[in-house]
Every structure is written in C-alpha cells, then in structure tokens.
C-alpha cells in the first residue's frame, strides 16, 4: 500500500502539463481497487458505506462507477481526477483506515477503437448502469503470441467489431482500456442476463480468443445504511 501511496503523492506534485489539463479526460481517469483486510468485528457494510460517502464528497474527483466484488471485501472505483493534487484527499483517508489499494490509469475503449481505425463515438458504451441490475466485470487480456503489430491490431479491431454487433443488439456495457498495459487489457462492466451470457458465449467461441476473467459485482448504491 505504501508504495502505491508514495507513487500517488509523487504523482500529485507533477505539473498538469505532464498529467494533462482538466479537459484531457483520457490522462486523468483511473481504476482503483480498495481491499478491506479481514478484521475481527468488522462491519463491512458500514465500512463500505463510509468509503462510498467519502468518495462522493471529494473535491475535483468524480466517481464514474463504483462497485463491490461479490463474495470479497473489494471496492472497485472508476474515477475522473480533474486536479492531480486532489489525490491526497482520498489516499490520506485510505491510509488512516489501513486499507490496501491499487491504482491503474485507464481510458475509454471507444477512444482506443478509434485509434484502431473504427468509427465509434465516445458515448457508444454506457456511462451509467442501473443500481438494481446484476452486474459482472470482465477483464480481457490479449496475448501477443508472436503476432506482428498489424496482426495484433487486426485482432483487436475484430473484437471491437463483435462488441459493436453485441451492443447494437441491445446489450449494455461500459468499457475502459488500462493505459499503456501490454499485452492490451480491457475491462467491461455489464449487466448479467440472457443477452449478456449469450454475448460471453459468443466471445469465448470467437476465433483468436483472449484471456478472460469474470467477476460478479454490485453497485455501491446498494449500500444505503449501516447494519442494524
């Protein structure tokens, strides 16, 4: 945790010319995993509610998505950080609580798809998922496996072509790429349902498949009060 904390504190001191200006959202979005360690007498619901309330009140940090992994004490956030020095609000709170955390810069899959030559607007993927929906997090990693750059990019383009078809058929999903990660890593948040399961099956049986990890998650909006 302390390595991550020191890294973020160093990050907060960099000028915005390095990190990006407030309008440059790609350079200022992050996925954060917060791990609540096992502790005797811990009220997990109250702790998660405190995290939810704290991040909602941060200045110059907007919560785009907030989830909890089902079955594990892990909170998953996607954040837009408008001012780098605002990180200290969050990291100091997490350090005081003794929570471990991991931060990964991300950007929109639609922007990445355009880099690959596809015509995809930024709002093609969802920016909001209903609080009462059953959700999953799918992490896709695309091994290189000796492919040339052109072959690798074509493999990624074909994945997005399948995504476009699935979303046009009515499936909802939010998608982000982990910045500068090689092999390429994409994360999808999507409702669980018949269409979602059919889409997963179609993806798994597609040619040149990728490594896929699926986790069940729930919105932090479900944490509305402390345990009685």
Q: What's the per-residue H, E or C state across 7-35?
A: HHHHHHCCCHHHHCCCCCHHHHEEEEEEE
User: By the 8 A CB rule, do 139 and 187 touch?
Assistant: yes
2-107 CATH? 3.30.70.260
Query: Coil, strand or helix: which one is 84?
Result: helix
Residues 6 or more apart whose CB falls under 8 angstroms from that of 41 comprise none
Question: What's the pLDDT at 224?
Answer: 65
Q: In angstroms, rounded to a whole number, what is the distance separating the alpha carbons of residues 76 and 35? A: 9
Question: What's the pLDDT at 201?
Answer: 60
Question: What's the pLDDT at 145?
Answer: 85
Question: What's the pLDDT at 217?
Answer: 92
Question: What's the pLDDT at 15?
Answer: 33
Q: What is the pLDDT of residues 142-158, one digit of tens each?
A: 998 889 999 999 999 99
* Buried b / exposed e along 185-204 (16+ C-beta atoms within 10 A): bbbbbbbeeeebeebbeebe
Q: What is the pLDDT of residues 63-80, one digit of tens each?
A: 999 999 998 999 999 999
Same fold, 2-107 and 110-220: yes
CA 35 vs CA 76, 167, 184, 187, 202: distances in Å: 9, 32, 24, 19, 32
Q: In angstroms, rounded to a whole number, what is the distance separating the alpha carbons of residues 116 and 153? A: 7
User: By the 8 A CB rule, do 135 and 129 touch?
Assistant: yes
Question: What's the pLDDT at 226?
Answer: 52
The domain locations on the chain are 2-107, 110-220
Residues of the chain with pLDDT under 70: 1-27, 193-209, 224-228
The CATH number of domain 110-220 is 3.40.50.2000: no
Residues 6 or more apart whose CB falls under 8 angstroms from that of 75 comprise 33, 34, 36, 48, 51, 66, 67, 68, 69, 220
Question: What's the pLDDT at 225?
Answer: 55
Question: What's the pLDDT at 123?
Answer: 85
User: By the 8 A CB rule, do 106 and 179 touch?
Assistant: yes
């Amino acid at each position: 945790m302390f390595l991550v904390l020191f890294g973020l504190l160093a990050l907060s001191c960099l000028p915005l010319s390095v990190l990006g200006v407030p309008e440059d959202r790609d350079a200022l979005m992050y996925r954060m995993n917060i791990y609540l360690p096992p502790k005797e007498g811990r009220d997990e619901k109250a702790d998660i509610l405190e995290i939810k309330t704290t991040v909602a009140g941060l200045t110059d940090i907007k919560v785009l998505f907030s989830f909890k992994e089902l079955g594990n004490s892990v909170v998953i956030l996607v954040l837009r950080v408008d001012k780098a020095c605002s990180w200290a609000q969050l990291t100091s709170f997490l350090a005081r609580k003794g929570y471990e955390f991991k931060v990964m810069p991300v950007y929109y899959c639609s922007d990445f798809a355009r880099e690959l030559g596809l015509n995809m607007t930024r709002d093609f993927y969802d920016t909001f998922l209903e609080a009462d929906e059953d959700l999953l997090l799918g992490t896709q990693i695309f091994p290189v496996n000796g492919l040339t750059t052109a072959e690798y990019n074509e493999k990624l383009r074909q994945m997005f072509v399948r995504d476009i078809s699935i979303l046009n058929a009515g499936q909802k999903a939010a998608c982000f790429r982990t910045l500068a990660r090689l092999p390429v890593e994409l994360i999808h948040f999507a409702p669980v349902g018949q269409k979602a399961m059919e889409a997963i099956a179609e993806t798994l049986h597609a040619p040149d498949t990728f490594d896929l990890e699926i986790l069940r998650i729930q919105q932090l909006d479900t944490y509305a009060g402390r345990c009685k």
